[in-house]
């Protein structure tokens, strides 16, 4: 990695966000800024001890003997005795028990009632035992029960890409500046009622040029104490909101400055990416328990990790992982760069705030078997699983956070 890289972590405690009625908007108030700077060179050669924040782990092999093969797991929900996995590659949703035994699959592609063309977002309503599927192409939000029976749909659902359901039955979503739904407003967040009707609006912070906004990958995710996280994955900031009394409050901001790479000028357009533009992309961000774990990589695919301890406000940077836990277990890598052999983690979103879910694909398990230093560390139950099945699905590696 480049020696001139500098990482700066900024934690912001923000004041109340005001709202007004439809047709009007209000902007976020000023904030008190606390800066924590970390010299990237201090992370060179340092390993992130997983034992710092991970207590233990266990594995859930997803049943391929009775259920269908899975392409790519993007999100995992735990609901009572059920485990629900969204396969974003094959556009299906699979229901398992907590041991990974297959129960049923939702695969309803089409244009008819209860069908979807594409899955842009999957949510879960544990109170009513519903699975919510947002089809961006048809602008339709579909409701299924856990068994896959279609219950109802909301047509002309106006949100674009980023969406999360709220405890009151409503929704928080994102609309770009050129949205046909509300052309009188700029880019920003909207609150919607249980029927999808837009009710409250406020502008998005100016962290990206409007022309790039629609292609930016964004995620909402659930945090402890009812908080909502928001990660624009190709931008170097994360936001935490508190939703209560039909209002949204910005609680804090994590802002990270990554490495500067002069050669990027003109890669997209001089107007949008200048010579001092940051060239770091976040691979994942997980705020679990008292910790915020992120993985970053730069334009040359060098990767590194940051770990923020929210109780102390200390953030450290590392360029490798020490997988050993204090109980003798080890966290296995879930991807390996072919050329360098560098090992990392493929992390998926989940609705549980006390665990990090990593996904081990079948090809990776076979690849690990061929690496002598890793093969001896594969738990016996995974070895038996691999040897006892001709077809295998991804395996969930569940890390319990301290």
Residue 398, beta-bridge partner list: 58, 357
* The predicted structure's pLDDT at residue 281: 63
Residue 107 has pLDDT above 70, yes or no: yes
* The predicted structure's pLDDT at residue 231: 74
Q: What is the pTM of this model?
A: 0.80
Pair 60, 99: CB distance under 8 Å? yes
Lowest-pLDDT choice from 94-108, 252-266, 337-351: 252-266
Quote the crossing angle between the two packed helices 380-388 and 362-369, to the nearest 10°: 110
* The predicted structure's pLDDT at residue 217: 61
* CA–CA separation, 74 and 53 (whole Å): 23
Pair 350, 75: CB distance under 8 Å? yes
pLDDT higher at 30 or 36:
36
- The pLDDT mean for the chain works out to 75
Query: Where do the structural domains in the chain lie, given as residue ranges?
Result: 7-401
Residue 59 has pLDDT above 70, yes or no: yes
Q: At 1, is the pLDDT very low, low, confident or very high (cuts 50, 70, 90)?
A: very low
Residue 21 has pLDDT above 80, yes or no: no
* The predicted structure's pLDDT at residue 60: 96
Query: 7-401 maps to which CATH number?
Result: 2.120.10.30
Q: At 42, is the pLDDT very low, low, confident or very high (cuts 50, 70, 90)?
A: low
* The predicted structure's pLDDT at residue 148: 95
* CA–CA separation, 346 and 335 (whole Å): 7
Q: Which residues contact 40 (CB under 8 A, 6 or more apart)?
A: 1, 5, 6, 7, 259, 304, 317
Q: Phi and psi at residue 102, in whole multiples of 5°?
A: -70, 140
């Amino acid at each position: 990695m480049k020696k001139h890289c500098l990482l700066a972590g900024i934690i912001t405690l923000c004041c109340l966000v005001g709202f007004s009625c439809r047709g009007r908007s209000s902007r976020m108030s000023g904030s008190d800024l606390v800066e924590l700077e970390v010299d990237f060179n201090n992370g060179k050669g340092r390993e992130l001890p997983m034992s710092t924040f991970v207590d233990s782990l266990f594995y859930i092999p997803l049943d391929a003997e009775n259920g269908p093969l899975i392409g790519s797991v993007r999100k995992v929900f735990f609901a009572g005795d059920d485990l629900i996995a969204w396969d974003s590659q094959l556009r299906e949703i699979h229901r398992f028990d907590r041991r990974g035994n297959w129960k049923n699959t939702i695969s309803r592609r089409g244009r008819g009632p209860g069908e979807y063309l594409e899955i842009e977002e999957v949510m879960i309503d544990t109170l009513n035992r519903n699975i919510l599927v947002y089809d961006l192409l048809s602008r339709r939000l579909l409701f299924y029960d856990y068994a896959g029976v279609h219950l109802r749909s909301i047509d002309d659902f106006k949100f674009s890409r980023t969406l999360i359901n709220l405890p009151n039955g409503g929704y928080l979503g994102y609309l770009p500046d050129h949205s046909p739904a509300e052309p009188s407003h700029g880019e920003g967040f909207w609150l919607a009622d249980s029927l999808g009707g837009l009710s409250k609006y406020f502008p998005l912070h100016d962290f990206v040029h409007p022309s790039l906004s629609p292609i930016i990958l964004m995620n909402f995710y659930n945090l402890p104490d009812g908080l909502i996280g928001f990660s624009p994955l190709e931008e170097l900031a994360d936001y935490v909101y508190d939703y209560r009394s039909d209002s949204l409050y910005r609680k804090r901001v994590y802002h990270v400055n990554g490495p500067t790479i002069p050669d990027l000028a003109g890669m997209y357009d001089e107007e949008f990416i200048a010579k001092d533009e940051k060239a770091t992309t976040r691979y994942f961000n997980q705020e679990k328990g008292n910790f915020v774990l992120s993985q970053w990589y730069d334009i040359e695919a060098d990767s590194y990790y940051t770990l923020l301890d929210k109780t102390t406000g200390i953030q450290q940077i590392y360029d490798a992982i020490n997988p050993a836990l204090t109980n003798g277990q080890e966290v296995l890598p879930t991807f390996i760069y072919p050329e360098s052999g560098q090992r990392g983690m493929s992390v998926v979103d989940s609705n549980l705030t006390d665990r990090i879910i990593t996904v081990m694909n079948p090809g990776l398990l076979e690849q690990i078997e061929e690496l002598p230093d890793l093969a001896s560390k594969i738990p016996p139950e995974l070895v038996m699983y691999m040897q006892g099945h001709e077809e295998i699905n991804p395996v969930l590696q569940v890390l319990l956070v301290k």
